[in-house]
Amino acid sequence: MKKTGIAAFLLIFTLLFAGCVSSGGKYQTFLCISNMDDRSFSMEYTSFDGKKYYVITPKKDTELRMRFVTKSGSLKCTVTEKGTAQDVYYQKEIQDSEASVPMKKGVKYTVWLIAEAHEGAFYFDWS
C-alpha cells in the first residue's frame, strides 16, 4: 500500500509541475549537449539534421526569448499558437540572432526547428 501511495504522489507531482514542456521529432545530432526544464530548452551541437519540436504551455503570460548561433549550415524556426492559422514567429536561414514573442497563460505553443547540416546552437527561455 505504501508503494502505491508513493507512486500516485510521483505521478500527480509529474503531471502538475513537470508537464509544461515536451519535445520530439526526427533528427540526428553529433557532439550534442541538450538541456530542458520547465522554463527553458537548448541544444549546442557540431551537426543537427532533421526536424525537432518542443511544446510549451506557460503557467502565466510571459515572453519566449530565443537566441540562435550559426557557424555553418541551415536552420529554420517556426513558433505556432495552438488554434490559430498563423505563425507567431517564422524565420529561415537563421544566422546569429535574438528574438522574442509574447505567450499567453495556458495556451500551447509549438516550436519547430528544422536543420540541414547545421552547426551551432539554440537557446529558448521564458519565466
Q: How far apart are CA 23 and CA 56, in angstroms?
A: 9
Question: Are 125 and 100 within 8 A, CB to CB?
Answer: no
Q: Which ranges constitute the DSSP H helices of 1-127?
A: 2-17
Contacts for 5 with CB less than 8 Å, ≥ 6 apart: none
Chain mean pLDDT for the chain:
85
- pLDDT tens sequence across 82-122: 888 779 999 999 999 999 999 999 999 999 999 999 999 99
Are the C-beta atoms of residues 24 and 111 closer than 8 Å to each other? no
In this prediction, residue 10 carries a pLDDT of 41
10 within 8 A of 18, measured Cβ to Cβ: no
Q: For the chain, which residues make up each domain, given as ranges?
A: 20-125
Least reliable range by pLDDT among 28-32, 41-45, 51-55: 28-32
CATH number attached to the domain at 20-125: 2.60.120
> Is pLDDT at 63 greater than 90 in this prediction?
yes
Greater model confidence, 88 or 27: 88
Q: Model pTM?
A: 0.80
